[in-house]
Structure formats: structure tokens, C-alpha cells
Amino acid sequence: MSDVLRQEECEIMPPMIITIDGPAGSGKSTAARKLAAELQIPYLDTGAMYRAVALKAIHESTPLSNPQALADAARRAKIELLCGPTHTRVTLDGTDVSEAIRTMEVNQATPYVSRVPAVRQILVEQQRRIGQQLGALVTEGRDQGSVVFPNADIKFLMEASIEKRAERRFHEMSADGVETTFEQVLENLRTRDGNDQCQWAPLLVPGNAIRIDTTHQSITEVVELLMKHIENAKNHRRNASGSRTHSHLDSH
């Protein structure tokens, strides 16, 4: 799999990797985009990578029940990402699929792809290379803080009731012209939760991540809360750095 990565010109803050994990519809994608724009650092939508592999499997009529065939599709897929501070554009085998990966058909196929360990290994390695290239980024997914970037500077776990998440996802898909029903979206989320929740389980341990329930919060309120935590983390880093400097000077 190719991971050619192009970064838009933007003002880079001191290197900081920020992870946002959680279930589908919790608001993490929108929050991550807005947070990256606020900080003017790249935004990485890792879910788009799994969706791209799912779309390739669909195009090639790859059996979703065949893990080996799905892993092979992932290895052969040529995925390019354009990570800007407001979006991640996705190209699959030379074609921009940023919109094509958001259909209900791809939604339903993606869990089959994401549960294959070999596929996850391929994409996790790619995501780590992206992090090394960029240095600073906001990345969101299911296992960013638990597996991909376990030493991230700050980790968030976003949650919301499944009814609220289904409502959000239904409105998003309807606005994009995708024909579906609330009941279909709700059932899809139940299936995805069953497959995915083990991925962010390590972040549920107290102290491993900052948990934020977005059920009754607007996206503006969520981003403001994220920014407060990030500013606190940055201040802590500056104070810790200052303390080490003073300690070094005092020893001479």
C-alpha cells in the first residue's frame, strides 16, 4: 500500500500529536476538523483509510467474509491522503474517493474490513508513518490513542448516546443525498459498536484519556472544551520545561 502524503502549507504549532477516539457519530470527526483548523495543524481522518479499502473491496467484488482477500486488497490499494487543517482528501488508485467512501454501502462494508488484524496492521503502520512525517496533527479514529499513538501528547475519548449518534449520522447522510432511514443507521451503529468498542477500551482506564460526553453539547461547546484541555497541556509542558531549565542552572 502506498502512503504518499501531501501537506498543505500551514502554520505549525510546536509538535503535538492529539488523538480523538470514540464510536461512530460521537462527533469526533467534526470536532477533529474544527480543532485542527483552530490550531492550524493537519487533520488525519483514519476512518477514511478503512473506508477506502472497503470501497476497493466492493469495486473488486471481494468477499467481505474472506479476511485474507481483504488483507490482499489493502496491500494492493494505492491510497493518497491530502491532510489539511480542515479536511482529509482521499485518493484511491488515482481517483478521488472523498465522497464515494461515505455511502451507506461502504458504511456497511467497513466493519468487515476493520476487524481483520492484517488490514489493521497495514493501516496502523501507515498512520504511524504519517505521524512521523507531520510531527503535529489531530488524528481521529477508534484506536489512535490506544494503539497507533500510545505516547500522544493528549488523548480524548468522545462518547454520546447511541440515539443521539444515530440522529447525527442520519442527518449527515441525508444532507449528502444518501438514501437511508434512521432505523438503518441505528442498526448499523449497533453493529459497529459491537465490533469496535474493544479498540478504545484501554482509554476507559482512568487517567488514560480525557473523556467527553457530547450528547447534550453543541460542536462549538465541544471544541471550546477541547481547546481548554489543550491549552492546559501546553502550559504544563512549558512549566515542566522551565522547571528542568532552572534545575539545570541551579546545579552549576
Mean pLDDT per block of 10 residues along the chain (252 residues) reads 45 74 91 94 92 98 97 95 83 95 92 94 94 92 92 94 95 88 93 81 82 95 95 80 56 53
**Which superfamily is assigned to 5-250 in CATH?**
P-loop containing nucleotide triphosphate hydrolases (3.40.50.300)
pLDDT of residue 11: 42
pLDDT of residue 196: 78
Sequence-distant (≥ 6) Cβ neighbours of residue 77 within 8 angstroms? 1, 52, 53, 56, 92, 93
pLDDT of residue 109: 95
Amino acid (one-letter) located at 159: E
Q: What letters, b where the CB count within 10 A reaches 16 and e where it falls short, cover 123-142? A: bbebbeebbeebebbbbbbb
C-alpha cell at 29: 470527526
pLDDT of residue 10: 40
pLDDT of residue 203: 83
pLDDT of residue 191: 87
**85: nearest Cα among 48, 131, 37:** 37
Helices (H), the chain: 28-39, 47-59, 67-76, 104-114, 117-134, 162-175, 182-200, 219-250
Backbone angles phi, psi at 185, to 5 degrees: -65, -45
